[in-house]
Amino acid sequence: MVDCKNNRRVVITGLGVVSSLGNDAETFWRKVVNGDCGIDRIRLIDPSPFTSQIASEVHNFDPTPAFPSPKEVRRSDRYCQFVVYAGWSALKDSGMDLNKENLEEIGCFFGSGIGGLSTTEEQCRVLVERGPGRLSPFMIPMLILNMGSGLFSIIHGLKGPNMATCSACATSTHAIGEAWQTIKLGNATAMFAGGAEAAITCLGVGGFSSMRALSTRNDDPKKASRPFDANRDGFVMGEGAGVLLLEELEHAKARNAKIYAELVGYGNTADAYHITIPSAGGEGAARCMKMALRSAGLNPEDVSYINAHATATKAGDIAEAQAIKSVFGSRASKLAVSSTKGAHAHMLGAAGAVELAICAMAVSNNVVPPTINYETKDPECDLDCVPNVARELPVKVAMSNSFGFGGHNAALVCKKFEG
108 is catalytic: no
Beta strand pairing call for 305-307 and 408-415:
unpaired
Check 80, 108, 166, 169 and give the catalytic one: 169
3-state percent breakdown (helix, strand, coil) of the chain, nearest 5: 40, 20, 40
- CA angle 235/18/389 to nearest 5° reads 55
State the distance between the two ends of the chain, measured CA to CA, in whole angstroms.
24
Check 156, 309, 344, 408 and give the catalytic one: 309
209/100 Cα distance (integer angstroms): 49
CA dist list (Å): 77 to 17, 184, 187, 269: 17, 32, 30, 31
CA dist list (Å): 198 to 121, 172, 215: 12, 14, 18
344 is catalytic: no
Write the DSSP string, 151-191: HHHHHHT--S-EE---BTBTHHHHHHHHHHHHHHTTS-SEE
124 is catalytic: no
397/394 Cα distance (integer angstroms): 9
Q: Residue 320 in contact with residue 282, Cβ under 8 Å?
A: yes
Neighbour tally for 359: CB within 10 Å: 28
Q: Taking phi first (over 0 means left), then psi (-120 to 50 degrees means alpha), and beta for anything else, what does residue 168 get? A: left
Check 346, 381, 408, 414 and give the catalytic one: 346
CA dist list (Å): 352 to 1, 349, 384: 31, 7, 21
Query: Which positions are annotated as active-site residues?
Result: 169, 309, 346
